[in-house]
Amino acid sequence: MEQGDKSVWELAHDAYPVNQQLVWLNNCGTTPAGTHIVQAVSRFIKGYSERGVLTEAASYHDVRQSIKAILSRLLSCDPDELCLIHNTAEGMNFISHGLRLAPDDEIILLENEYPSNVYPWFHWKKKGVNLRTAPMEMSPEAFFEQFSGMITDRTRVVSVSVVHWCTGMPLPIDQVGALCRERGIDLVVDGAQVVGIQPIDVKKAGISYMAFSAWKWLLGPLGLGVLYVSKEKLDELGPIFIGTESVVRDEEYLPYKSELKHTADRFTFSTANFNDWVYFEAALKFLDDIGFEEVQQRILELSEHLSQGLRQVGFQVLADRFPSHSTGIIACKKPGVPSHIIVEKLKENRVVAAERLGRIRFSPHIYILPHQLDEVVQILASA
């Protein structure tokens, strides 16, 4: 992706028009579109306007397979274990409602978890299943010690994020997965804050099911998500919706069929928003062309660069409590100053961040350059 005298990161910066207006440091929340995405979607819309579904600008089958191929390499799974859905919450509902549990069984969730991995489990309360909450603690090691002590003979499901959305603290998911595998527990993962930013091998981690959104570290569109279902677990997860695309030979509308697809695609149960697929494919190809390992390393470098600047101007950086674990989410606070006031001050200076659990949350991506982070630190110092 090098071009002339510009580095790959300078070209990435140029590809995102948001840099002309804002310093966008809320990429673990939502991400703006790059020019490559605008071009891909525009090309498809133009083709669709001319030839409808017969357009050769993008093929439903080819785009889906392209997306799943890139993601399967990223997650070390089979493409047939992935399907495209709308968001994390939808995926978690597919998983939660599709499981078979009995009264007095236990589900362990995570303290201060994002609602998408909480609300979908509430229906089990009415069915006599116990919902318990594992405390986050202040380090991955302390979390695992507390979590492992919570497991009982009635624990059937553990559903957690790999990286906490408020603090940026990563969980030791391989250890969690090994313990779940040893005890015969289904490990369910909200992958929204890990896929694209940190390496994750779903097989090594022993993940049974995972859902994640496209619009965070993967730079995809709002309203598109991904569901992973381990092939060993596919037939254990009952579908709560069945539509045209759930069954084998779905392109043959008649006669009706009772046999479900033998892949996770059974959960993409009807016509998708294909515009979003085209958007997502362009975003993934952009990252894949650079290399996900390089992308992940760059984000961590930017995060550490910003963290160093924040320390220098008197901010307390939460990640200092788990220094041996890198994170792309920087949670920090300035003693004596309410974080929401600082976030508003940043907004006045065209810097987009968020306030979570009383701290300021920053999350840079590869289209941000170090000098932009230095300018943010200067704003904070002068404010």
Query: Where are the chain's structural domains?
Result: 8-33+291-382, 58-287
Mean pLDDT along residues 240-266? 96
336-355: burial string, b at 16+ Cβ within 10 Å, e else: eeebeebbeebeeeebbbbb
Q: Is 90 exceeded by the pLDDT of residue 67?
A: yes
Tell me the pLDDT tens digit for each residue of 162-174: 999 999 999 999 9
Beta strand segments in the chain, E: 23-24, 82-85, 106-110, 130-134, 155-161, 186-190, 209-213, 225-229, 316-317, 330-333, 351-352, 354-356, 359-362
Residue 1: band (very low, low, confident or very high) from pLDDT cuts 50, 70, 90? low
Residue 269: band (very low, low, confident or very high) from pLDDT cuts 50, 70, 90? very high
Contact yes or no for 206/178 (Cβ under 8 A): yes
Say what the pTM is. 0.96
Q: How much is the pLDDT for 4?
A: 63
Report which of 100, 95, 32 is spatially closest to residue 366, judged by C-alpha positions.
32
Please tell me the least confidently modeled range out of 3-12, 247-256, 340-349: 3-12
Q: Say how far residue 12 (Cα) sits from the centre of its chain.
A: 21
Contact yes or no for 105/152 (Cβ under 8 A): no
φ/ψ (deg, to 5) at 91:
-60, -40
Mean pLDDT along residues 107-111? 97
Q: How much is the pLDDT for 383?
A: 77
Q: Is 80 exceeded by the pLDDT of residue 179?
A: yes
Class of domain 58-287: alpha beta
Q: Which two tokens stand for residue 152?
A: 């009982």
In the CATH scheme, what is the code of domain 8-33+291-382?
A: 3.90.1150.10
Q: Is 60 exceeded by the pLDDT of residue 24?
A: yes
Q: How much is the pLDDT for 188?
A: 98
Coil, helix or strand at residue 113: coil
Mean pLDDT along residues 219-227? 98
Mean pLDDT along residues 115-126? 98
Contact yes or no for 155/185 (Cβ under 8 A): yes
